[in-house]
Structure 1
Amino acid sequence: MVRLLHTADWQIGKLFGQFDRDEAALLADARFKAVERLANLANEQRVDLVLVAGDIFDAQAVADRTIHRLFNAMAGFSGRWVLLPGNHDAALAESVWTRAARLQAIAGNVSLCLTPETLFLTSLGVAILPAPLTQRNTFSDLTEWFASARTPAGMLRIGLAHGSVQGILAEAVDSANPIAAGRAEQAGLDYLALGDWHGTRRVDARCWYSGTPETDRFRANDSGQALLVELNEPRALPTVRAIGTGRHRWRSDSQALQVPSDLEALLQRIAGYAANDVVQLSLSGQTDLAGQRRLRDAIGQAQGRVHSLLADVSALRLEPTSEDIDALQADGYLAEVVAELRAAQEVSDAQTARDALSLLAGILDDRRRGVGAGGAP
C-alpha cells in the first residue's frame, strides 16, 4: 500500500493587498506555517510521498529569501516531495524554479516535474505522470499524453495536473488550462491529483482537487485542507480523506438593518468573531444615532480581537430620530441649519435634506463624544 498526501495552491508570496500592511504580512506568513504543518502531518500519517499540484508560489518574482524560506518550511518531512508548476509559477525558460536551482535551495528529496515525462519512484512502486504548465495559460489539455504513457505492470499510475476539469467547475474558470472530465479512468490512472481550484472537491472516485491548505479568499469552497490518499494496489479504488490544515477562518458576513432586532442580531454575531477569523462585513439599511454608536463600538472591539475585519458601511444610512436631533443641543447657526433641514424633509427634495441632516447629525454627535473623523462606521 502507498500512502500519499495531496496538496496544492500554496500561493507562497501572496501579497493580500486588500488588508493593511501588518495584517497582510501575517496572512503571508501563515502560508509558510501551513507548509510546516503539512510536513508534520506527513510524518504523523507516515505517508510515502507528498504531491503538490501546482501554484506553489504565487508569482515568478518572489524574493530569494521567500524561495529559501519555502524549502526550509518543507524540511520537516524527509520523505519524497513531488512539485508541479502551475499557472502562477509556470516552468518558463527563466522562472522561479530556475532561480531556486541556482540558489541551491532545492533539497535532494524534492522532485520538480518541469517537463511532461514520467517520474519513476521505483522503491515505492509508483509512476508519476505530470502535466506541468510551461506558460500561464494554455488552451490544450496537457494531460492527453497520460493515456499513451507506458509504465511497468504492477506499478501504480498517479497523474499530477493543474487546471480546470471541463464541465465541472464554474464556467468562468472553465476556459484556460483545460483537463478532460474522466481523464483518470481514460488514462488508466489509479489517482489524479489536481490543483487550481482552491477548495477540496471530488471530481470522481479517482480524481480530486485538494484545495489550498490555508484559506486565502472570501469564498465558501471547503478550503484549508489536504487529502490523505491510500492506494492498496493498481486499479483498486483509492481511499481519500480530507484533513483540516488551515488556521484562519475567512467569513463573509452581511446585514441589512431595517428594524431594531436586525441590529441586535448583528451585534451578537460580531461579538462571536474569534481570534483567527478574517471577516468581510458589509452593512446596508439604516440606523439611528444610538445604533450607530453601538455598532461603531462593536466593530472597534472586534478589530482588536480578530485577525482582520474589513467593514464596508458605505450603504448604511444614518437616520437620526427627533430625539437624536434634540440631544445634539445644536445652537446658533447650526441650530438654524438643523431646523431648515428638518423642515426640508417634508417637501419635494426630502431625500437630499434627509441625507444632509444625517451627515450633519453624525458629525455633531462625533464632536460631542470626542470621536475622530476616522472612526467607523
Structure 2
Amino acid sequence: MGIKILHSADWQLGKPYGRFEPDVRGALTEARFDMIDTLGRTAAEHDAQHVIVAGDIFDTEGPEDRTIVQAISRMSRHGCRWWLLPGNHDFARNGGLWDRIRHKAGDKIVILSEPVPHEFESGAWLLPAPLVHRHNLEDPTALFDTMETPGASLRIGLAHGSIRDFGSRGETKNQIAPDRAKRSALDYLALGDWHGALKIDARTWYSGTPETDRFQRDDPGHALLVNVEMGSEPVVTPIRTGRFQWLVRDWTVNNQANFDAECDQLLGAIDAPNTLLQLTLAGITGLSDRIAILGRLENDVRHRLRLLDIRADDLVGRPSEDELASLAIEGTLGAAAAKLNDRIEAGGPEGLIAKRALERLFVEYNRQELP
C-alpha cells in the first residue's frame, strides 16, 4: 500500500508587495499564480494524484474576487486533486473566505476547514488541522491523537504552525509538538508556516513556499514530492517550483577592478531577469572608483535584474591627492572640495552629507570635462 503526493504550503496569493514599483509588483504577483500551474504540471509529471497545501493559500482572509477566481481556475485545469488547509493568514471562520471559495470550486478542490479525516484513497487517510483563529494557544495537531481512521494503512497529517521556535522569522503561536508524527502514528506530517523546505525528522517536513517572497535565502521556492509506503519511511524529494531568486550579498570592495570581478562572477552565475538582489557594499576606495562602481550598478546591473536594492553607505570614497589636485586649480571648486574633505575627515552626520556633496562635485566636474 502506497500513495504519492505533492506537498506545498504558503502560497499567500494576493500578497501586495507594496514596497516595490508597479512593474516588479505585477511580475511577483503573476508568478504566484503561475506557480499553481507549475505544481499541477509537476504532479502530472510524477504521477501524483493529490496536491496537499498546508495553509496560507491566501495572504489574507479577505482577498479580492479576482485572486480567488484566478486561484480556482488555475487549479481546475489540472487533473490532480487539491486539498486546501486554512492557515493563520487565511484562517477558517463561518461566512468567511472559505465559504466564498466553496461556492465557486468544483470537485477537484477540497476545502479542509473542519478537523475531519478524509480517506482520499483506499486505506490512505488525510488528517487536517485547520486553524480557526490567527493565533491558537493550543497545539492544532493534538486532535490527531483521537481522529478515527477505520482500516487505515496510511495516516498523513496536514497542519500549519511552528514545530520549533523560529524567533522573528516564524509564528510564535500555533506551536506543534516536535514528535507529533510519532505520537499520532502518522506516516507523514506535512507542515506549512516556515517558508523554506525543512526536514524536522524522517516523517515530518515543511515544504516551504513554492515561490520565494523575501530577501532571506538564496534558494528559490520548492514543493515536496512524497512517496509514502506502508511500513517504510517516506521518500521525500524537493522539486524546484519558483521562478524568482532573492539574493542577499555583502561585498567588501577596495577598487573598481575588485568590484567588477565580483559583479561579473555573479552575473555569470544567475538568471538575471528572474533575480532580485539586495546588495550591501562596504570598504574604502578612491572617490572616482566609488562613482564608477555606483554608476555601473545604476546604469547597467539594475537594468539586467528584476530588482536591485543597493546599500552603499559603508562604501567610503576618499579623494586621492591627484583628484584633489585636479580640482585645486579650479579656484572656487578646489576650495569647496578642500572644505568638504575636511568635513569628511571630521566624521559625524555632517561628514556623511559632505561625502555626498564631494561626490556630486566630482561628477559635475568630470561631466564638464567630457568632450
**Residue number in structure 1 paired with 2:65:** 64
Q: TM-score, normalised by structure 2?
A: 0.89
Structure 1: how far apart are the matches of 2:252 and 2:359?
Answer: 20
Contact 1:325 1:361 in 2 (8 A): no
Structure 1: how far apart are the matches of 2:242 and 2:344?
Answer: 52
Q: Deviations over 1:229-279 (max 9, x none)?
A: 11222x432111111111111110012334666434433345435221111
Matches within 5 A, 1:128-277: 128-166=126-164, 169-170=166-167, 173=170, 175-220=172-217, 222-233=219-230, 235-258=231-254, 262-269=258-265, 271-272=267-268, 273=270, 274-277=272-275
Going from structure 1 to structure 2, the CA distance change for 1:94 and 1:292 (only over 3 Å counts) comes to farther
Contact 1:166 1:174 in 2 (8 A): no
Structure 2: how far apart are the matches of 1:352 and 1:44?
Answer: 59
* Structure 1 unmatched ranges of 5 or more: 372-377
2:295 is the counterpart of 1:297: yes
Name the aligned partner's letter for residue 333 of structure 1. T
Q: Deviations over 1:336-377 (max 9, x none)?
A: 32344456778xx47788656533331122324559xxxxxx
Name the aligned partner's letter for residue 55 of structure 1. D
Name the aligned partner's letter for residue 367 of structure 1. E
- The share of aligned pairs that are identical, in percent, is 35
Contact 1:288 1:320 in 2 (8 A): yes
Q: Deviations over 1:68-123 (max 9, x none)?
A: 0011121232222110011111112343222223xx331211110101111222x4
Structure 2: how far apart are the matches of 1:242 and 1:208?
Answer: 11
Matches within 5 A, 1:1-377: 1-101=2-102, 104-121=103-120, 123-166=121-164, 169-170=166-167, 173=170, 175-220=172-217, 222-233=219-230, 235-258=231-254, 262-269=258-265, 271-272=267-268, 273=270, 274-300=272-298, 301-328=300-327, 331-342=330-341, 349=346, 355=352, 358-370=355-367
What is the SS of the residue equivalent to 2:136? coil
Structure 1: how far apart are the matches of 2:347 and 2:297?
Answer: 31
Q: Deviations over 1:306-362 (max 9, x none)?
A: 11111112232221112223334773433332344456778xx47788656533331
**Residue number in structure 2 paired with 1:375:** none
Going from structure 1 to structure 2, the CA distance change for 1:325 and 1:138 (only over 3 Å counts) comes to same
Q: Alignment RMSD, CA only?
A: 2.6
Equivalent pairs, count: 364
Name the aligned partner's letter for residue 8 of structure 1. A
Which range moved further: 266-275 or 303-312? 266-275
Which range moved further: 62-71 or 150-159? 150-159
Going from structure 1 to structure 2, the CA distance change for 1:343 and 1:306 (only over 3 Å counts) comes to closer
Structure 2: how far apart are the matches of 1:314 and 1:324?
Answer: 21
What is the SS of the residue equivalent to 1:275? helix
The structural deviation recorded for 1:212 is 0.7
Name the aligned partner's letter for residue 141 of structure 1. D
Going from structure 1 to structure 2, the CA distance change for 1:352 and 1:141 (only over 3 Å counts) comes to closer
Q: Deviations over 1:173-224 (max 9, x none)?
A: 3630110011111101111110001111111111111111111112227551
Structure 1: how far apart are the matches of 2:85 and 2:241?
Answer: 20
**Residue number in structure 2 paired with 1:374:** none
Contact 1:251 1:279 in 2 (8 A): yes
Structure 1: how far apart are the matches of 2:313 and 2:141?
Answer: 47
What is the SS of the residue equivalent to 2:182? helix
Name the aligned partner's letter for residue 201 of structure 2. D
Structure 2: how far apart are the matches of 1:5 and 1:364?
Answer: 59
Going from structure 1 to structure 2, the CA distance change for 1:20 and 1:269 (only over 3 Å counts) comes to farther
